[in-house]
Amino acid sequence: MPAAPLTSLDRLAIHTFTLKPWDLERCCAALSAAGIGGITVWRQHLEPYGTAQAAAIIRAHGLRVPALCRGGFFPHHDHAGRCSAIDDNLRTIDDAAAIGADMVVLVCGAVPGMPLDQARGQIRDGIAACLDHARSCGVRLAIEPLHPMYAGDRSAINTMTQARQICEDIRDPLLGIAVDVYHVWWDDRLADEIRLAGEQGTLFGFHVCDWRLETRDLLNDRGLMGEGCIDIRGIRALMEDAGFQGFNEVEIFSLWRWQQDQDAYLAEIIDAYRNHT
């Protein structure tokens, strides 16, 4: 079924990293003034405030917080490194609870030279070690599969299938998946995996941006919706057909967009959300 056009901004959330030049306060004020429903907070934007003040600012602007970004980076060559990563994730879960975030997004990690299947085992064990604390805090954990071009050092979880396998290994209602169109649009198993995740109750998050054909930078040249080749509306239809009712989160890293006037950019984002999402 085709997805209905998005007119309301209630289910729109914007990642603070999308508007990186702005601090959290400026970001909350602009989003709230535009009638946008949610904000996904990155730790870099949280740190200058601390969680209590950040929570007060977000609350004062009436914004909901689908997610805190980001936890993860579980694999390490040594035991101490893996323990330290788990500790860091426990603190991230605390921070998420403190600002009222529904979930922590996990960029799972990879270590150059470590076989990817070994890294996936360490990721599974690391997530499992965090779940009791997540439960006590009422925070969900969302595995975000990352594009295979990040398999070298950012994530050994590069497909929805791999994310599902970890969810099935652990089987905890607090563990699910964040689907980012940038990372998964190319995968011929995408439709099946979204449907399966819907059945398993693991569709936690949905991130949108676009894939620019002339990508100039592997990390920071994502396109605004409509600027690239991803069938974003088609993927949103898959998500909604599978029962997803959460936020549509705009997550764009762009060296070029960050140089632009951010108020004008925000207006473009809203336009692209209505016309190309």
Map residue 102 onto helix, strand or coil.
Answer: strand
Q: Based on CB atoms, which residue is closest to its own copies, 49 or 150?
A: 150
Using rule CB under 8 A, residue 23 touches its own copies = no
Is residue 112 near its own copies by the rule CB under 8 A?
A: yes
- Provide the mask over 170-199, with x wherever binding to its own copies is found by CB under 8 A and - wherever it is not: ---------------xxxx-----------
Distance CA(176)–CA(163), nearest Å, equals 8
Which of 218, 255, 260, 275 binds its own copies (CB under 8 A)? It is 218
Q: Which two tokens stand for residue 130?
A: 């965090």
**Hey, what are 267's tokens?**
């207006």
Q: For residues 121-150, which are near its own copies according to CB under 8 A?
A: 147-149
| Residue 2 within binding range of its own copies, rule CB under 8 A | no
Q: Any contact of residue 78 with its own copies (CB under 8 A)?
A: no
- Secondary structure of residue 223 in the 3-state scheme: strand
Nearer to its own copies, 43 or 147 (CB): 147
Give the integer Cα–Cα distance in Å for 126 and 83: 8
Closest CB to its own copies among residues 215, 259 = 215
Phi-psi bin for 192: left (phi > 0), alpha (psi -120 to 50), beta? alpha
Q: How far is CA 129 from CA 51, 75, 183, in A?
A: 24, 13, 26
Residues at the site binding its own copies, with contacts judged by CB under 8 A: 112-113, 115-117, 147-149, 151-153, 158-159, 162, 185-188, 211, 213, 215, 218, 228-229, 231
